[in-house]
Amino acid sequence: MTAPADLIDRIPADHLPALLAAMPKAELHMHIEGSLEPEMIFALAARNGVALPYASVDALRRAYAFTDLQSFLDIYYQGASVLLHEQDFYDTAQAYLARAATDNVVHAEIFFDPQTHTARGVPMGTVIRGLSRACAEAPQKHGLSATLILCFLRHLSEREAFETLETALPFREHFIGVGLDSSEVGHPPEKFARVFARCRELGFRIVAHAGEEGPPDYIWQALDVLKAERIDHGVQAVHDAVLMRRLGAGRVPLTVCPLSNQKLRVFPDLADHNLKALLDAGLCATVNADDPAYFGGYVNDNLRAVAAATGLTARHAYQLAANSFEASFADAAAKARWREQLDACFERFNR
Ligand SMILES: Nc1ncnc2[nH]cnc12
Ligand SMILES: [Zn+2]
């Protein structure tokens, strides 16, 4: 069943914030290291005896004044340095999953950056076991399903990516796919062509950050060279009409992160964000939090803010939730179940 358009259009506009919060949704673009709230960074630093270059939680929060992606990444990698033990990774994922459930997230595909940790001497197994245990418990504990996607850091070399893949393979049943993140400009997807070819041979799902700050050409490379099934961000696609047609015709999902784009000055004024244009062009765009602890909000905060700033309607809301299910790597039965929950939610708001 699909909620009929006229039913959706009868939902009063002032119900939209509540509808956005209540509707079931999948979150497909969030970095677990980016869910470390300042309080948790300080608590883990104390637990593990890690020295931080900030005197207090407030001082750390005051440092979150980013000018671009790199200015954020420098602080983000520093924050992740408090994660040392399997329990730290478990606690971090568990805190995110509990929070996501309150936003009516029914399914999460979670990025992790192993190189951030292995470079500090943390074993790969420590990272993956901790995160994976929290994901495995999520259905019972929080009523949502959760899986992991391993991301390669694109500012590092192809060789280091291959080494990371090798080190992670003994744990391959714990992650469903691979992605590409970190400093985009100057590190095009084609730098990792051979790594991703190997990952495809191994049967991993493929995603890549592209077109966050980088040009549309990076999105083409992610699609044609890496064979990415989803593009993370992708908002620069609007500058290439041929690419827009390709993304629309192929229903290639874009995992868009509005508050991230605002805070990293991709769209300094959220009113200028192009999410609505992407949706109205028929693209499979979704809304996600990226790094919620750093950018001022979780997925519902993103939905609420971008809807208010750009004038989204109930129909856009329905499309965003439906797109998030379509774009997920879950099986068809789960997708059909979530779609029914979505329709039931919209029907409740119509009464
Ligand atoms: N927005 C972002 N872009 C690239 N790499 C990231 N790692 C964490 N957040 C990221
Ligand atoms: Zn991201």
pLDDT digits (tens, 9 = 90+) for 25-77: 999 999 999 999 999 999 999 999 999 999 999 999 999 999 999 999 999 99
105-135: pLDDT as tens digits: 999 999 999 999 999 999 999 999 999 999 9
Cβ neighbours, 10 Å, residue 309:
18
- Best mutation site among 209, 219, 302 for ligand 1, i.e. most ligand atoms within 8 A of its Cβ? 209
The maximal CA–CA distance of the chain, rounded, in angstroms, is 58
- Best mutation site among 27, 28, 30, 31 for ligand 1, i.e. most ligand atoms within 8 A of its Cβ? 31
Counting DSSP H helices and E strands in the chain, the numbers are: 18, 8
Judged against a pLDDT cut of 60, whether residue 104 lies above it is answered with: yes
Residue 291 annotated as lining a ligand binding site: yes
Residue 343 vs residues 23, 106, 196, 280, 327: alpha-carbon distances, Å: 9, 14, 37, 21, 18
Average pLDDT, stretch 206-219? 98
ipTM above 0.95, yes or no: yes
Average pLDDT, stretch 151-170? 98
Average pLDDT, stretch 83-110? 98
Average pLDDT, stretch 182-210? 98
208 neighbors 232 (Cβ within 8 angstroms): yes
Residue 7: band (very low, low, confident or very high) from pLDDT cuts 50, 70, 90: confident
Residue 351: band (very low, low, confident or very high) from pLDDT cuts 50, 70, 90: confident
Per-position DSSP letters for 58-87, written without gaps between them: HHHHHT---SSHHHHHHHHHHHGGG--SHH
Residues involved in catalysis: 212
| Percent of the chain topping pLDDT 70 | 99
Q: What is the distance in A from the centroid of ligand 2 to the CA of 30?
A: 6
Average pLDDT, stretch 164-187? 98
Average pLDDT, stretch 300-319? 98
Q: CATH homologous superfamily for 5-350?
A: Metal-dependent hydrolases (3.20.20.140)
Closest CA to 112 of 77, 148, 76, 146: 148
pLDDT of residue 1: 44
Judged against a pLDDT cut of 70, whether residue 3 lies above it is answered with: no
Domain locations along the chain: 5-350
Averaged pLDDT score across all residues of the chain: 97
Closest ligand 1 atom to Cα of 257: 1
Residue 6: band (very low, low, confident or very high) from pLDDT cuts 50, 70, 90: confident
Average pLDDT, stretch 90-100? 98
Q: Is 336 exposed, middle or buried (0-12, 13-18, 19+ CB in 10 A)?
A: exposed
* Residues flanking ligand 1, CB < 6 Å: 31, 34, 69, 76, 181-182, 209, 212, 260, 290-291
Rounded to an integer, what distance in angstroms lies between the CA atom of residue 139 and that of residue 278?
Answer: 32
Residue 289: band (very low, low, confident or very high) from pLDDT cuts 50, 70, 90: very high
304 neighbors 17 (Cβ within 8 angstroms): yes
pLDDT of residue 188: 98
Q: What is the distance in A from the centroid of ligand 2 to the CA of 8?
A: 31
Residue 5: band (very low, low, confident or very high) from pLDDT cuts 50, 70, 90: confident
Q: What is the distance in A from the centroid of ligand 1 to the CA of 182?
A: 5
